């Protein structure tokens, strides 16, 4: 995976980064049809739309399963309504999704393909790549 910028972010726009629990830590696990998961994804969508109303235009996702994925999918859906917003997908290392099941890997790859900006922190896994990815999400600097 290579770093890519398809559309640049304004230096003055507000940014919001997403990362959170993985399915294994959620009460509904991988069951996205569970009412609690459906409600969580709806709330996430509404919160992101509210942030857009407050001037946020650059959204970053850590690219992991569950929360990161759902936030990025919500941003892409909202781009249809608010085409000026940007999605930046941030991968801690090349091959982040290589060991995921086929369906989740396909979702991951689609998000990185459709993102306005792709940032890869490390070309290979290191002990610090996840920390460095989180630092980038918070500070926008590797």
Per-residue pLDDT tens digits for 41-95: 999 999 999 999 999 999 999 999 999 999 999 999 999 999 999 999 999 999 8
Q: Is the dihedral of CA 44, 139, 115, 62 positive or negative?
A: negative
Instruction: Specify the CATH number for the domain of residue 124.
Output: 3.40.50.450
What radius of gyration, in Å, describes the C-alpha atoms of the chain?
A: 14
Q: How far apart are CA 96 and CA 124, in angstroms?
A: 9
Domain that holds residue 106: 4-23+30-139
- Residue 120 gets which letter from DSSP? E
Q: Are 64 and 21 in contact (CB under 8 A)?
A: no
Query: What total number of domains does the chain contain?
Result: 1
- Full-model pTM: 0.88
Q: Tell me whether strands 14-18 and 4-5 are parallel, antiparallel or unpaired.
A: unpaired
């Amino acid at each position: 995976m290579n770093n890519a910028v398809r559309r640049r972010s304004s230096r003055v726009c507000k940014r919001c980064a997403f990362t959170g629990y993985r399915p294994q830590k959620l009460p509904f696990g991988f069951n996205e049809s569970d009412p609690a998961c459906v409600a969580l994804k709806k709330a996430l969508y509404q919160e992101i739309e509210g942030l857009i109303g407050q001037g946020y235009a650059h959204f970053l996702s850590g690219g992991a399963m569950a929360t990161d994925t759902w936030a990025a999918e919500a941003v892409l859906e909202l781009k249809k309504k608010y085409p000026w917003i940007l999605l930046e997908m941030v991968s801690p290392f090349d091959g982040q999704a290589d060991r995921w099941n086929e369906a989740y890997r396909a979702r991951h790859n689609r998000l990185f393909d459709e993102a306005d900006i792709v940032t890869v922190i490390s070309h290979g896994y290191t002990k610090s790549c996840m920390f460095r990815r989180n630092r980038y999400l918070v500070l926008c600097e590797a």
